[in-house]
């Protein structure tokens, strides 16, 4: 995929969008891990932790890009990405704090290590998404990550506010992930011999169908969860 092709820039925007959408917690992780450091060391903790996190993400995503060339593994990745799209549309349970186990570092090295490890644990869905959007291009994957990570670190507060204010952006993000899942599913090396004769129709039908289905399932589950919580509240003493 060449930089002169429109597909390159579309995929790059998809990678940046996915990374920003799924990495809103990174600023929280950094703040928690560096909160006990002196003010003059916090900046270095942010820089060092972010650099390490970027390196790990590039490594993990590159491995996934090559694994997706194995027959049927790309199809499995598509299923996982579809579930990530559905989960994105489901509300978080109140009272749960996924950052509760992140300990503040008392040394610069400790804070950087905490940031890197926490990011590695929390970023599996992100890595799967960007690896799928890269469509086998490691160069595109690296460029997208290098552009989006600084945006996430320094602009995540704004992104989170926008997502809270405009919930439609979350729906659009879920649809985007569903679209990519449907796209890579029909391109799996194990099944492309059956789908390729029907391209590009199979691609558009699968991508659009998964996008709509992910949004529909996500909203249905969210509505069911809301009704169940309402019943629990009504029956509470």
| pLDDT tens per residue, range 22-45 | 665 565 566 666 666 777 777 777
**Closest to 214 in 3D by CA, of 170, 177, 164:** 177
pLDDT at 124 over 60: yes
| CA–CA dist 160, 143 (Å, integer) | 23
Q: Please give the residue that has the higher pLDDT: either 16 or 92.
A: 16
The residues near 82 (Cβ < 8 Å, ≥ 6 apart) are 177, 178, 181, 182, 210, 213, 214
In angstroms, how far apart are the furthest CA atoms of the chain?
65
| pLDDT tens per residue, range 199-221 | 778 888 999 999 999 999 988 98
Neighbouring CB atoms inside 10 A of 72's CB total: 11
Query: DSSP 3-state assignment of 25?
Result: coil
Across residues 95-110, what is the average pLDDT? 57
| CA–CA dist 115, 154 (Å, integer) | 15
pLDDT at 103 over 60: no
User: So what's the pLDDT on residue 96?
Assistant: 43
Q: Residue written as tokens 């509470």?
A: 236
User: So what's the pLDDT on residue 134?
Assistant: 80
**Is residue 211 a contact partner of residue 94, using CB atoms and an 8 Å limit?**
no
Predicted confidence band at 192 (pLDDT cuts at 50, 70, 90)?
Answer: confident
Predicted confidence band at 91 (pLDDT cuts at 50, 70, 90)?
Answer: low
| pLDDT tens per residue, range 139-155 | 888 888 777 766 666 65
pLDDT at 97 over 70: no
pLDDT at 223 over 80: yes
């Amino acid at each position: 995929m060449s930089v002169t092709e429109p597909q390159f820039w579309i995929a790059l925007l998809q990678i940046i969008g996915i990374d920003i959408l799924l990495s809103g917690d990174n600023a929280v992780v950094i703040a928690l891990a560096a909160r006990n450091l002196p003010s003059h060391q916090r900046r270095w903790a942010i820089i060092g932790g972010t650099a390490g996190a970027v390196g790990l993400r590039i490594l993990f995503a590159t491995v996934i890009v090559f694994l997706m060339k194995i027959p049927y593994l790309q199809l499995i990745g598509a299923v996982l990405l579809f579930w990530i799209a559905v989960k994105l549309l489901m509300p978080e349970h109140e009272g749960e704090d996924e950052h509760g186990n992140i300990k503040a570092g008392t040394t610069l090295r400790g804070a950087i290590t905490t940031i890197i490890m926490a990011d590695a644990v929390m970023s599996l869905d992100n890595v799967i998404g960007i690896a799928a959007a890269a469509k086998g291009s490691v160069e595109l994957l690296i460029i997208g990550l290098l552009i989006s990570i600084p945006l996430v670190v320094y602009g995540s507060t704004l992104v989170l506010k926008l997502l809270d204010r405009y919930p439609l952006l979350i729906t659009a993000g879920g649809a985007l992930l569903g679209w990519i899942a449907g796209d890579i599913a029909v391109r799996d090396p194990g099944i492309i011999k059956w789908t390729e004769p029907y391209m590009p129709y199979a691609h558009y039908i699968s991508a659009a169908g998964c996008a709509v289905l992910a949004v529909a399932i996500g909203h249905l589950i969210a509505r069911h969860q809301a009704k169940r919580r309402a019943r629990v509240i009504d029956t509470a003493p």
